[in-house]
Structure 1
Amino acid sequence: MLNTNTANLRFLGIDMQARWRRRVAVVASYIVFGVAMLSIQAQIWDAFGHPYWVMWVMSFVLVFLGVFRDGALVKSFFVPKQAPAEMLMVGSLDEWARYRYGTTGFEESSAEQQEDLLKRYRVGTYLMPRSGSREHRPWLPDEREAGERDRASRRTLVLLGTYLTSMAGVYSIHPDRLTKTQDVVALLLQLIVMAITLPKAIVLWEEPDPREESGEMELIDKKA
Structure 2
Amino acid sequence: MRAELVLMGKRLDMAARVHRRVLVVSIYAGLAVLMAALWSVDRWRTSGVYMIFATFLVNRLFLGGYNFGGLVKPFNGKAPRRSTYRETPFLMLALRVYQPTPEESEYRNDEREMHQRDRAHFQAYQAITIALTVLWLLANWKMKAPRLLAWMPVSADVLLYGLVLMAIVAAVTLPQAILLWSEPDMEEE
Of the three residues 136, 139, 143, the one matched with 2:111 is 143
Matched, 1:174 2:149: yes
- Unpaired runs of at least 5, structure 2: 80-103, 142-147
Q: What are the residue-to-residue correspondences of 1:1-224 with 2, within 5 Å?
A: 2-3=1-2, 6=3, 9-12=4-7, 13=10, 14-41=12-39, 44-46=40-42, 50-65=46-61, 67-69=62-64, 70=67, 71-80=69-78, 142-166=110-134, 172=141, 174=149, 177-180=154-157, 183-211=159-187
- Residue by residue over 1:28-70, the C-alpha shift from the partner in whole angstroms, topping out at 9 and shown as x without a partner, is 11122123213323xx2139x83234334433333323x2133
SS where residue 15 of structure 2 aligns?
coil
User: Which of these two proteins has the greater Rg computed from alpha carbons?
Assistant: 1
**Maintained 8 Å contact 1:33/1:62:** no
Normalising by structure 2, report the TM-score. 0.62
Aligned length: 149
Contact 1:59–1:189, Cα closer than 8 Å, also in 2: no
CA displacement at 1:141 relative to structure 2: 6.4
**Secondary structure of 1:209's match?**
coil
Name the TM-score, length of structure 1 as normaliser. Answer: 0.54
Distance 1:203 1:154 in 2: 12
| Unaligned segments of structure 1, at least 5 residues | 82-135, 217-224
Judging changes above 3 Å, is the alpha-carbon distance between structure 1 residues 186 and 78 closer, same or farther for their aligned structure 2 residues? farther
Q: Identity, % of aligned pairs?
A: 32
RMSD of aligned Cα (Å): 3.5
Using a 3 Å threshold, how does the CA distance of structure 1 residues 18 and 141 change in structure 2: closer, same or farther? Answer: closer
